[in-house]
Structure 1
Amino acid sequence: MMQLQAPQSVVMIRPHHFRSNPETQADNAFQRASIGDVAGAARAEFDGVVAALRDHGVTVHDFDDTGAETPDSVFPNNWFSTHAGGHVAVYPMYAANRRRERRWDVIDLLKTRYRVQDVIDYSGLEQDGLALEGTGAMVLDHIGRVAYVARSHRADPVLLERFCTHFNFEPIVFDAADAEGRPVYHTNVLMAVGTGIALVGLEMISDPARRAMVQERLEETGRDVIVLSAHQINEFAGNAIELSGRQGPVLAISARAMAALTPEQIKRIEAQVRILPLSIPTIETAGGSVRCMIAGLHLARRNERDLT
């Protein structure tokens, strides 16, 4: 059964030329420069994540990276998203070398294995200097139909309005910054929205009225809102994703992020989902964590007879 907020199937891209990306370093404060050849370590971490997800009953469609000039290819959630009813969006990217990550063979697999009605391709708007980096720039509440967005270079307001009109989301936009006043580059490092819980770095939302609004809208849907500190956000505790496993929902989160949570927060999370900590220290040097690695599939599977 397909869960509205917690997909049972995902797409992931195995990195072969992983390294820190100089084109994204300027506005990604979470990124650290790579020391030496880290591609092999990143690939091993990736394979460990895939194995752990499959062990828990999550379907993983894994693709190998095909280009040497795509250091961030392990983060596919930025260039496409999928939506109930058979809808797919393809997004324009901010950094030039990230635009090469788009894979039409991935979209072809979706059309073959799942019921896809249409693909709306916004990527041509890169020529106009516009970017909207998928479920990195937007944290989507598929239940409440809200798109939470931290203002950044990666989320053009005009394109956001267009996406929300096409896909029936209400945009809630806010400014968010770290202790040094640097804007949060992607909303999905700040917050994660599951079925019954939400992890949110509320103190990093600058305007008190917007902060209260975000909390109120999440609580309206009956979620337990777990407030994360700026330190926990820096440890990637907001960069998690709920998935539907064989024995119920799991929260995929990095081991580093898990270590930053308090016992009380863990207890509240475990009241709703099983926590699945995943060790990806090398991949996290690129400025993203577990959520960034996973493109959830909110699509209905085709019947077996349709595939023959």
Structure 2
Amino acid sequence: MKKLQQITNHILMIRPVAFEMNEETAVNNYFQQKFEATNEVVNQKAQEEFDAFVEKLRKQGVTVTVVDDIKENKTPDSIFPNNWISFHQDGSVALYPMFAENRRRERRMDILDTLEEKGCEITSVVDYTDAETDGLYLEGTGNLILDRENRKAYCALSPRADEDLVIEFCEDFEFMPVIFHANQTVAGERKAIYHTNVMMCVAENFAVICLDTIDDKKEQKHVVESLQDDNKEIIKISEEQMHEFAGNMLQVRGAFDKKFLVMSSRAYRSLNQEQISAIEKHCEILHSELEVIEICGGGSARCMMAEVFLPKV
């Protein structure tokens, strides 16, 4: 079995044209909040944050393919492409079933054409979107935290992550599922976290994780042991830090093979010195201000980046 790379130098990002709070996703994304401004102001601020973020990545030698959203599609969450698509080292592409109806319009085959024009090879498309007709969902690498090197897929089950679909994905792509439940406190109640990638990040040699969200001690032990078996240093964050998007991080490769852990400035400010030092033992930290995107979208830096592992022609 071919060894897979854990991190990539190539990222796909979708530039917003009509970004605003998505009411369809707010029903179970408890990170979303109202931002007191007109939609025009919100979109303008989101575009400024997006452009500055892309510039920071490119400055470090990360290849960023930027595609503009299409205004007529009315897709307020298009800025988070990692939920509907993933790209794999064998040339395959996976398309995922989405919880919110207006997010299903984000799936665009012209984006595959754009990547092929840039010299990426696409050999097959694995399409799970039929599950939407049965009310079953799996929102890409929002739900699936892929440890590619060790072929494990970590997933916290939620209304947006169906267990059977997780297992189907793992069978198709030859991953071992590590399935658990993760909760956050909302108005005094424990409720399922909508996406695993807000509470967990797996990098080459370490993992940032909010273990406090895994209420079942057996499940928590299973996740910890799985990470330890692969010699990952576990860097714990609190639930409070998770709410500052400190779990929503992604390790990428820049110029000269230099590695970066990418996060928002809000997430970075929530970390203590011990956590920062633990991360910096492995790689540099790159952070960017994403305040409006985080408040209105309920997602952060990791959600904005779809990793491209496709082979070059």
Interval containing the TM-score (normalised by the shorter chain)? over 0.9
CA contact (8 A) 2:20 2:43 kept: yes
1:105 aligned to 2:114? Answer: no
> TM (normalized to structure 1)?
0.95
Counterpart CA distance in 2 for 1:153 and 1:75 is: 18
Q: 1:77-226 residue pairs with structure 2 within 5 A?
A: 77-112=82-117, 113-179=119-185, 180-226=189-235
Deviates more, 1:70-79 or 1:165-174: 165-174
Q: CA offsets, 1:265-304, max 9 Å, x none? A: 10110010110011100000110000000000112222xx
Residue 240 of structure 1 is matched in structure 2 by 249
In structure 2, which of residues 296, 299, 303 is the aligned counterpart of residue 288 of structure 1? 299
SS of residue matched to 1:181: strand
Counterpart CA distance in 1 for 2:17 and 2:231 is: 42
Counterpart CA distance in 2 for 1:94 and 1:106 is: 21
Residue 71 of structure 1 is matched in structure 2 by 76
Counterpart CA distance in 2 for 1:3 and 1:280 is: 31
Residue 299 of structure 1 is matched in structure 2 by 310
**Letter of the aligned partner of 2:16 in structure 1?**
P
Counterpart CA distance in 1 for 2:183 and 2:283 is: 29
CA contact (8 A) 2:12 2:65 kept: yes
Residue 19 of structure 2 is matched in structure 1 by 18
CA contact (8 A) 2:183 2:192 kept: yes
Instruction: State the shift of 1:3 in Å.
Output: 7.7
Counterpart CA distance in 2 for 1:192 and 1:3 is: 17
**Letter of the aligned partner of 2:240 in structure 1?**
H
Following TM superposition, where does structure 1 have runs of at least 4 consecutive aligned residues deviating by more than 3 angstroms? none
Residue 240 of structure 2 is matched in structure 1 by 231
Gaps of 5+ in 1: 303-308
Q: CA offsets, 1:29-64, max 9 Å, x none? A: 101123223000000100001100000000000010
Counterpart CA distance in 2 for 1:218 and 1:88 is: 26
Gaps of 5+ in 2: none
**Letter of the aligned partner of 1:100 in structure 2?**
R
Counterpart CA distance in 1 for 2:172 and 2:114 is: 23
> TM (normalized to structure 2)?
0.93
Instruction: State the shift of 1:124 in Å.
Output: 2.4
Deviates more, 1:32-41 or 1:270-279: 32-41
Counterpart CA distance in 2 for 1:108 and 1:34 is: 36
Residue 10 of structure 2 is matched in structure 1 by 9
Residue 268 of structure 1 is matched in structure 2 by 278
CA contact (8 A) 1:58 1:244 kept: yes
Counterpart CA distance in 2 for 1:84 and 1:168 is: 12
1:45 aligned to 2:49? Answer: yes
Counterpart CA distance in 2 for 1:35 and 1:301 is: 45
Residue 249 of structure 1 is matched in structure 2 by 259
CA contact (8 A) 1:29 1:182 kept: no
Q: CA offsets, 1:77-108, max 9 Å, x none? A: 00000112111101110000000111111122
Counterpart CA distance in 2 for 1:269 and 1:25 is: 32
**Letter of the aligned partner of 2:138 in structure 1?**
L
The RMSD of aligned alpha carbons is 1.3
Q: CA offsets, 1:185-209, max 9 Å, x none? A: 0000010000011100011111111
Q: CA offsets, 1:226-265, max 9 Å, x none? A: 0110011110000000000114111110000001111011
CA contact (8 A) 2:4 2:89 kept: no
**Letter of the aligned partner of 2:48 in structure 1?**
A
